[in-house]
Every structure is written in C-alpha cells, then in structure tokens.
Amino acid sequence: MLLRNQKLIQNALTSLTLLTSLTLISGCSGFDVKRLDIFTKEVERMPLNLDAPTPEKMEEVKFIIITEENYEKVFEELRKNNTDPVLFGLTDDGYETLALNFAKTRKYIILNKNVLEKYKEYYEAPKDVDGK
C-alpha cells in the first residue's frame, strides 16, 4: 500500500512538472513580437553647404643663384637696382628639402580637397527616380 501511494505521488509530481513546463514554453508563443525599425529607416542627410576654398594668387619669387665666381657681379647688380644687398641662402640640399616640403604641402591640400568632395557627394548626392 505504501508503494502504491508512492507511485501515485510520483506520477502526480511528474504530471505537474510536465504541465508546468508546457505552460511556460507555450506561454511565450502567445505574445506578438513587434519588429523594431530602428536601423531600417534612413535619416535624411543635411546638405553641407561648404564652398570649395578659392585658390590663392601667389606672388612671383625670383631666385638668384650666387656662386664663388659671380657673387661680386650679383652684389653690384643689386646695388645698381637700388636693392639692399641682403640675401637669404640655401645649400643645394636645403633647396631640395624646401622643394620636398612644398610637394608634401601640395599633396596634403589635394587629399583634403578630395575628402571635401567625397563629403559633398555623400551629403548632397542627387536623389534617384524612386525618391531615395
């Protein structure tokens, strides 16, 4: 009789556990899950309204090459033209460094101009026929 009561209690607990598990599992399927549209809506891009910088007009620079053989003639010519005979000099290596620095500056300006153009293309791109 004790064995029979134990089996009845065990069957009742198994049925209760199974019923509870099924209720919990099927309880989640009754809810409507709404789809989030957070990442599917495109935000309209605002125009940048940036004008490309206008190129500066550079003044002409005149270089005078002075050597051991012509320095007296150059100074005499400067005095004749009422120019102070003060000169700023570079060695050939210094001139090469100056030219390389100007080339790097030019490259930097060109790269930034390209970045600005790409930003303008992105933000101010013409809309397609679909309105996108």
Residues 72-86: tens digit of each pLDDT: 999 999 999 998 888
Averaged pLDDT for residues 59-66:
87
Q: Give the Å distances, CA to CA, from 126 to 41, 44, 56, 105.
A: 19, 12, 30, 33
> Among 19-23, 27-31, 35-39, 75-79, where is mean pLDDT lowest?
27-31
Task: Report the candidate in 64, 70, 66, 50 with the shortest Cα–Cα distance to residue 123.
Answer: 50
The dihedrals phi and psi of 91, each to the nearest 5 degrees, come to: -80, 170
CB 122 within 8 Å of CB 45:
yes
Q: Hunting for tokens 């500056």 — which residue is that?
A: 105
How far, rounded to the nearest angstrom, does the alpha carbon of residue 81 sit from its chain's CA centroid?
Answer: 53
